[in-house]
Amino acid sequence: MTKPASVPVTQIIRGSYVDGPGLRTVIFLKGCPLRCPWCHNPETQATEPELLYDARQCMRCGACIKVCSQKGLDISLPYIVDREKCNTCFSCCDVCPTNALKPAGKKMSASGLMEEIKKDTIFYQTSGGGVTFSGGEPLFYPAIVHNVLQQCKKLGIGTCIDTCLAIPWEKIAKVVTVTDLFLVDVKHSSSKEVLTDLVFSNLECLAGSSRIWIRIPVIPGWNATIEEMHRIATRLQPLKQGIENINLLSFHNTAEMKYRYLNREWNEYATKSWISDDALKQFKDIFSSNNLPVKIGG
């Protein structure tokens, strides 16, 4: 018998009020076409499952070593996971008494996701909320995302996708009819590193038929200048009839610990300064002067 289609889920957050209107259940899927050096969710970049290790929680009790068939754990090492040997069976996570070892990328089917979504129905009904697919890039998996959102629509549950739009239009088109709102990340006006031309091409296609909120991560050393914000505003201005909100989201470096969970360094951005309130106000005024609906924060 063929197994039902599944997607890798890193986490499900309940009661979010910053990922669309009302209270929302946010489902984070694994896999992204971009590798932004400031990424706040590095555990969602790769499509394959990964093992997270939080050294602060580890008692070095050795329970994980006893169940590891690959001999991929060694508590004598500062970071106990040998990633070349680990096959991400996650047996170690099942026996870890402190959750120092955690899976990133649990496979879930559409029916499993619907079970989780329906648990929060009362909150959607009372707040005008719903479900938001995020990531990573949820449109790596258009078929199963469409399946779930279609079921949500039939139940009267609001639907939203948080996307970078740096993917082929064919994948986006598959979910347009079942998505109430798109949260679109716009990171730069022209950089090829974040596939800007593809993003704006897809945004133009969406703007005529879908509700859109633009989210601009304001990143020091990347786009946090008056000149770049003017350029972004200029590219968005012709699409303003299709844009309901623009949110300026200030960089923060609290994601450093996530990189440590993956035994990765985040040297470039771990010590970057946060964006000042005065700078954010200046950037906000740029979009306002272009008659674009903008606010600071999500």
Helix ranges restricted to H, the chain: 63-67, 91-95, 110-118, 121-127, 142-154, 169-173, 196-207, 226-236, 256-261, 267-270, 277-289
Domain 6-48+107-296 architecture: Alpha-Beta Barrel (3.20)
pLDDT in tens, 7-19: 999 999 999 999 9
* Residue pLDDT, tens place only, 192-223: 999 999 999 999 999 988 999 999 999 999 99
pLDDT at 266: 87
pLDDT digits (tens, 9 = 90+) for 231-279: 999 999 999 989 999 999 999 888 999 999 999 988 888 888 889 999 9
Note the pLDDT tens digit of each residue in 73-114.
988 887 789 989 999 999 999 999 999 999 999 999 999 999
pTM of the model: 0.94
Can you give the pLDDT at residue 4? 53
Whole-angstrom CA distances from 193 to 36, 106, 196, 289 are: 8, 29, 8, 28
Distance CA 63, CA 283 (A): 52
So what's the architecture of 50-104 in CATH?
2-Layer Sandwich (3.30)
For the chain, domain boundaries: 6-48+107-296, 50-104
Checking if the pLDDT of 1 tops 80, the result is: no
Nearest CA to 255 among 32, 38, 17? 38
How does pLDDT run across 164-182, given as a tens digit for each residue?
Answer: 999 999 999 999 999 999 9
